[in-house]
Structure 1
Amino acid sequence: MIDLISITPQALFGQLLLGLINGSFYALLSLGLAIIFGLLNIINFTHGAQYMLGAFVAWMLLDKFGVNYWAALVIAPVVVGVTGVIIERLLISRLYHLDHLYGLLLTFGLALIIQGLLRNEYGVSGLPYAIPAQLSGGQNLGFMFLPNYRGWVIVASLAVCLATWFVIEKTQLGAYLRAATENPTLVGAFGVNVPRMITLTYGFGIGLAAFAGVLAAPIYSVNPNMGADLIIVVFAVVVVGGMGSILGAIVTGFGLGLIEGLTKVFYPEASSVVVFVIMAIVLLVKPAGLFGRTA
């Protein structure tokens, strides 16, 4: 057992900070997955590879062209999102009327191909990506030291997640997107190009993963396995929140990140499995997930 008296405030808040950072990536990635599944009904197993591609594109932009972090934060999601649009048009669009298993197998195979190509080219030792000068250093809060870049990651991911939720749930564009999943023929009758909207939605979901990859690049080394190490946990987050639930992805992503951080303080041995334990409990109690709708 952990001696609670021996746990210092610095250790506790430090792990909570790490939990929030992990939760930021969980939320962004699971949000992209929720959008793609909820609006397109595709289980996208390439999401981890596209998260990794976001980090690699940022690194290549800096290494080959001298493009800084701030520009990469915009360019990389667009570039990776465009590759997602191409994949959707050429491959995934052919599977919309088939069983979910076909989409899962296709995207899983694509993920292995992308990871294998980059692993063959760059190896697995990892490539460094420097923290931008504007975000170097940190703040002494008294009870803990907060690195500026870590704080930026949390704020940026939360802002993007909330903005995405607002667009999908509270705007006319979001209403069209949600209606197109229920009755695409009716939405098309109003003059909306449904196939184009679906393609752009898929590209946006991929762009969210790439955005998370750029945020992660200065924290973790850029390597071909960084997405594979994360995607299983992210799928568990999506299941807990409810497949296709936008709000569920955000709340559960940050919430499970915090729980994981606390577990590392009080029971470190369980920190690697606590998310999956929670997933099992939620599925037993509420199979549709915490925010999911029962069919």
Structure 2
Amino acid sequence: MTMIFGIPVQAFLGQLLVGLINGSFYAMLSLGLAVIFGLMRVINFAHGALYMLGAFVGYLLLTRFGIGYWPALILSPLIVGGFGVVVERLALSRLYDIDPLYGLLFTFGLALVLEGVFRYYYGVYGVSGSPYSVPPLLSGGTDLGFMFLPNYRGWVVVASMIVCFGTWALIEKTRLGSYLRAATENPGLVQAFGVNVPLLLTLTYGLGAALAGLAGVLAAPIYQVSPLMGSDLIIVVFAVVVVGGMGSILGAIVTGYMLGLAEGLTKVFYPEASNLVVFVIMAIVLLVRPAGLFGRDA
């Protein structure tokens, strides 16, 4: 049997795959957080709840309306993004001119409300949650010779990379992205040029919410759909954003994949530390580079 560092190659590569899959969700969720913070300066504690909401919307579309995975992959982010637009217009937009702590407290409260609603109405599933079946087109797996790759997990990695780097290109390489960045730096000047800054901020929050909702739909066939699925993940995602650099879009993406792989490797060599490795890396990075790996020093 082929060994890598004294470990069977199948086990080693299998854990790398698990790390890459987890990293795909870390990257997508931290990307949404980075978009909202980088362009709006709002620390969105409701992001994990929006991720959970996306998974539940996909689940409810299937069980209540018979709408399968592929339409839900489009509808769920749109519904969650629309919910984000309503939240931004009715509440967050009133908090921009006061202490940012109020935005943090509001989104934290929103997360508790959303989680509480779904725990009340869907508490029958308990902490184990409810399963969402893999779409037939992506069922089964592919034999790579050295390991067996489930097709759906391969799809998640590819879809995550397309979404993440597509969003990065939208913000960094297009005119719309330049308007968004300019509105963050000097909203008064951008408004003077006839750009509707409040609308840009609303769309930005909607985009971040939609990214969380999309991640939730992608996660549903892998993890159980549960009211707690967002709160279980959001602390790790915040650590990813801090390591990458608060507000850095590229930093959120790259660091999400890197820390997912680091977590997978830790499960191979020292499983007891796999739940802590992300936070250990965060502490080290903050000691060496407080702005994060891709952040800008003040």
Class of the TM-score when normalised by the shorter of the 2 chains: over 0.9
Which residue identity lines up with residue 189 of structure 2 in the other structure?
L
**Aligned equivalent of 1:266:** 269
Q: Distance in 2 between matches of 1:238 and 1:89?
A: 25
Kindly state the Cα deviation for residue 106 of structure 1 after the two structures are TM-superposed: 0.8
Q: TM-score, normalised by structure 1?
A: 0.98
Kindly state the Cα deviation for residue 140 of structure 1 after the two structures are TM-superposed: 0.5
* Partner of residue 189 from structure 1, selected from 187, 192, 196: 192
**Aligned equivalent of 1:210:** 213
Which residue identity lines up with residue 198 of structure 1 in the other structure?
L
Q: Distance in 1 between matches of 2:56 and 2:4?
A: 41
Q: TM-score, normalised by structure 2?
A: 0.97
Tell me, yes or no, if structure 1 residue 235 matches structure 2 residue 238.
yes
SS in 2 for 1:197: helix
Q: Distance in 1 between matches of 2:276 and 2:251?
A: 20
* Partner of residue 157 from structure 2, selected from 151, 154, 160: 154
SS in 2 for 1:195: helix
Q: Distance in 2 between matches of 1:189 and 1:9?
A: 60
**Aligned equivalent of 1:31:** 31
**Aligned equivalent of 1:281:** 284
Q: Distance in 2 between matches of 1:127 and 1:215?
A: 15
Q: Distance in 1 between matches of 2:238 and 2:48?
A: 10
**Aligned equivalent of 1:82:** 82
Tell me, yes or no, if structure 1 residue 247 matches structure 2 residue 250.
yes
How many pairs are equivalent? 293
Kindly state the Cα deviation for residue 97 of structure 1 after the two structures are TM-superposed: 1.8
Kindly state the Cα deviation for residue 191 of structure 1 after the two structures are TM-superposed: 1.4
Which residue identity lines up with residue 195 of structure 1 in the other structure?
P
Tell me, yes or no, if structure 1 residue 60 matches structure 2 residue 60.
yes
Q: Distance in 1 between matches of 2:121 and 2:162?
A: 35
SS in 1 for 2:149: strand
Q: Distance in 1 between matches of 2:142 and 2:100?
A: 47
- The 3 A distance-change label for structure 1 pair 4 and 156 is closer
**Aligned equivalent of 1:292:** 295
| Larger CA deviation: 187-196 vs 47-56 | 187-196
SS in 2 for 1:139: strand
**Aligned equivalent of 2:135:** 132
Alpha carbon RMSD of aligned pairs, Å? 1.1
Deviations 1:211-263 (A, max 9, x none): 00000000011000000000000000000000000000000000000000000
* Partner of residue 141 from structure 1, selected from 127, 134, 144: 144
Kindly state the Cα deviation for residue 5 of structure 1 after the two structures are TM-superposed: 5.8
Kindly state the Cα deviation for residue 100 of structure 1 after the two structures are TM-superposed: 2.2
Q: Distance in 2 between matches of 1:177 and 1:71?
A: 29
Q: Distance in 2 between matches of 1:131 and 1:238?
A: 30
Deviations 1:251-283 (A, max 9, x none): 000000000000000011110000000000111
What stretches of structure 1 of length at least 5 have no aligned partner?
none
Kindly state the Cα deviation for residue 99 of structure 1 after the two structures are TM-superposed: 2.1
Is the CA contact (8 Å cut-off) linking 2:4 and 2:12 kept in structure 1?
A: no
What stretches of structure 2 of length at least 5 have no aligned partner?
none
Q: Distance in 1 between matches of 2:180 and 2:43?
A: 18
Kindly state the Cα deviation for residue 103 of structure 1 after the two structures are TM-superposed: 1.1
SS in 2 for 1:89: helix
Q: Distance in 2 between matches of 1:175 and 1:6?
A: 50
Is the CA contact (8 Å cut-off) linking 2:30 and 2:253 kept in structure 1?
A: yes
Q: Distance in 1 between matches of 2:184 and 2:142?
A: 46
**Aligned equivalent of 1:110:** 110
Identical aligned pairs, as a percentage? 71
Is the CA contact (8 Å cut-off) linking 2:171 and 2:177 kept in structure 1?
A: yes
Which residue identity lines up with residue 130 of structure 2 in the other structure?
L
